[in-house]
């Protein structure tokens, strides 16, 4: 017996709705990340656009549970267009591996996406101009934990007059996620002989691992 055309139509509509839901969710997430990256690469919103070689949006797993956020790209990052690829980046990669993650399992970016001249700290107006990009990345990736590297990155998320030594070691709430502030890898490199600093960073990372169920 021939099927009722209305029933066939209704079944097809249901399937299309289902597929479209799956497809739209997938396409919109990927395309919104790509379009955000393109916007950052072409951004002229602050004076750093005049002195950069290229903007450095960030890289990593778009489903990451863990995000690392530094302050700004340095010389190597500005040349290569990737975050944390210089000496400090190599140390960060070692820390990530010690936490039993691979680099491509986490997401890595900076507060501002363009290199400040001479690697100076980013200024308030530059951070304000760039902050929507970072907030959009956090919304897209939706991590469980953010590790901030250095005082500039910590200040973005945590309102406190404390210095890094007093600030690090505890989780802070930012919206519905946890922020763990720790020292910037370049600070560890500048204080290479200081074993206490290294120990403090490792203690911080162990807390992050425990929170994420890593041993």
Cβ distance to ligand SF4 smaller for residue 42 or 161: 42
Beta carbon of residue 115, minimum distance to ligand SF4 (angstroms, whole number): 9
69/167 with CB nearer ligand SF4: 69
Binding track over 113-152 against ligand SF4, x by CB under 6 A: xx-----------x--xx----------------------
Strand, coil or helix: what is 160?
A: coil
Q: Which segment (37-45, 73-81, 151-159, 203-211) binds ligand SF4 by CB under 6 A? A: 37-45
Query: What's the token pair of residue 108?
Result: 């890595």
What is 80-103 written as a DSSP string?
Answer: HTSSS-SHHHHHHHHHHHHTT--G
3-state secondary structure 192-209: CCCHHHHHHHHHHHHHHH
**Closest distance between ligand SF4 and the C-beta of residue 128, in Å?**
9
Contact stretch for ligand SF4 (CB under 6 A) within 13-21, 91-99, 110-118, 151-159: 110-118
Neighbouring CB atoms inside 10 A of 214's CB total 14
* Shortest separation between residue 97's beta carbon and ligand SF4, angstroms: 29
Contact in structure between 48 and 114 (CB atoms under 8 Å) = yes
Measured CA to CA, the distance from residue 1 to residue 37 in angstroms comes to: 55
Of 38-57, binders to ligand SF4 (CB under 6 A) are 40, 43-46, 48-49, 55
The count of chain residues that interact with ligand SF4, using the rule CB under 6 A, is: 14
CB of 127 to ligand SF4, least distance (A): 9
49/209 with CB nearer ligand SF4: 49
DSSP strand pairing (59-60 vs 107-110): antiparallel
Please answer whether residues 107 and 64 qualify as being in contact, where contact means their C-beta atoms are separated by less than 8 angstroms.
yes
Site string for ligand SF4, 156-195 (x = CB under 6 A): ----------------------------------------
Runs of H (alpha helix) within the chain: 5-41, 48-51, 75-80, 87-98, 124-141, 151-157, 164-167, 185-190, 195-211
Contact footprint for ligand SF4 (CB under 6 A)? 40, 43-46, 48-49, 55, 112-114, 126, 129-130
């Amino acid at each position: 017996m021939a099927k009722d055309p209305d029933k066939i139509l209704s079944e097809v509509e249901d399937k299309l709705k289902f597929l479209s839901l799956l497809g739209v969710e997938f396409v919109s997430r990927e395309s919104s990340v790509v379009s955000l990256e393109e916007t950052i690469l072409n951004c002229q919103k602050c004076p750093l656009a005049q002195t950069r070689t290229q903007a450095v949006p960030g890289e990593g797993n778009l489903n990451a549970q863990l995000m690392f956020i530094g302050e700004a790209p340095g010389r190597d990052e500005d040349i290569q267009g990737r975050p944390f690829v210089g000496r400090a980046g190599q140390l960060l990669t070692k820390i990530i591996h010690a936490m039993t993650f691979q680099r491509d399992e986490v997401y890595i970016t900076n507060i501002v996406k363009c290199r400040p001249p001479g690697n100076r700290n980013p200024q308030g107006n530059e951070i304000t101009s760039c902050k929507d990009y970072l907030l959009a990345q956090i919304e897209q990736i939706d991590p469980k934990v953010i590790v901030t590297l250095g005082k500039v990155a910590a200040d973005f998320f945590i309102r406190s007059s404390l210095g890094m030594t007093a600030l690090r070691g505890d989780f802070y709430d930012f919206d519905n996620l946890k922020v763990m502030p720790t020292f910037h890898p370049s600070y560890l490199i500048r204080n290479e002989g200081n074993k206490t600093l290294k120990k403090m960073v490792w203690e911080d990372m162990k807390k992050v691992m425990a929170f994420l169920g890593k041993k």
